[in-house]
Amino acid sequence: MGDDVNTSARSVADKVMALVHALGTAEEPLRLGALAEVSGTSKATARRLLLDLCTQGYAHSPGRGLYLPGPRLQGLAAAVVRYDPLGGVIAESLGALARATGHVAARVGVADGRAVVLGLENPQRLPLALQVGDELPEHPLWADEADSGGVGSAAGPGTGGGSATESLMEYPTASTWMLAAPASTDRTTFLVLVGLAFMRPQDDTAAQLLAGHARALGGSPEGLRDVG
């Protein structure tokens, strides 16, 4: 009985968090049907959960069947980033990297093997399906340093032939490549360059720029990784 209750509770929590994530990353009001789909529920269940979120202030309905983040969700997000000591500096680095390399620059937060996009600069408006809040696919790079295998180097793209790179040929999709460098000594923050496969750098200029920004933010250039 207890296991059934716990399973049910986790299922409800997963659905609620799916709704919160969708609301938090939306650029415009979302319709009930879309929210029901992302949360894996019926419209009736999604409506009930959204009503609870609206009552608590985590969601807001500006019109019938439309939903936006509520003030408490916005406040929670603001509270999380309020004491980020490198937030503004990293944002400047992302902008500079994106403009200098012509690729998408991202800040990735890592914990417990999960990697989530926390910041993104795409001034060239490259058609990449990547946005703030996205969780990146599993990769040895996001694991503990001891498990990441010493793949790659500051020498640039394509120079690392280690098993971690070879084990994941498509990352995050067959049409894109990614280059990452730790921007904190505890490897909880990474600077990442993402580009289309046919725009993959042919020299180490982008890698050197990435390593320089990561080093300035407290990372180690020896930690540079080409992750496919």
228 residues of the chain, pLDDT tens digit each: 444 444 455 578 888 988 998 888 888 899 999 999 988 888 999 999 999 999 999 999 988 889 999 999 989 888 887 777 777 788 888 999 999 999 999 999 888 888 999 889 999 898 888 888 888 888 888 876 544 443 333 333 443 333 323 333 456 677 888 888 888 888 888 999 998 888 888 888 888 888 888 888 875 565 677 776
Nearest-angstrom CA–CA distance, 182 and 200: 20
Task: Classify burial at 25, counting beta carbons within 10 Å of its beta carbon; exposed 0-12, middle 13-18, buried 19 or more.
Answer: middle
pLDDT value of position 32: 93
User: 180, 191 in Cβ contact below 8 A?
Assistant: yes
pLDDT at 5: 45
Asked if residues 192 and 178 have their Cβ atoms less than 8 Å apart, the reply is yes
- What is the model's pTM? 0.72
Residue 84 dihedral angles phi and psi, to the nearest 5°: -75, 105
What is the pLDDT, as a whole number, of residue 133? Answer: 84
* Beta strands 104-111; 114-121: pairing state: antiparallel
Q: How far apart are CA 153 and CA 206, in angstroms?
A: 13
**What was the pLDDT predicted at 151?**
36
What pLDDT score was predicted for residue 161? 34
Structure tokens belonging to residue 189: 């923050």
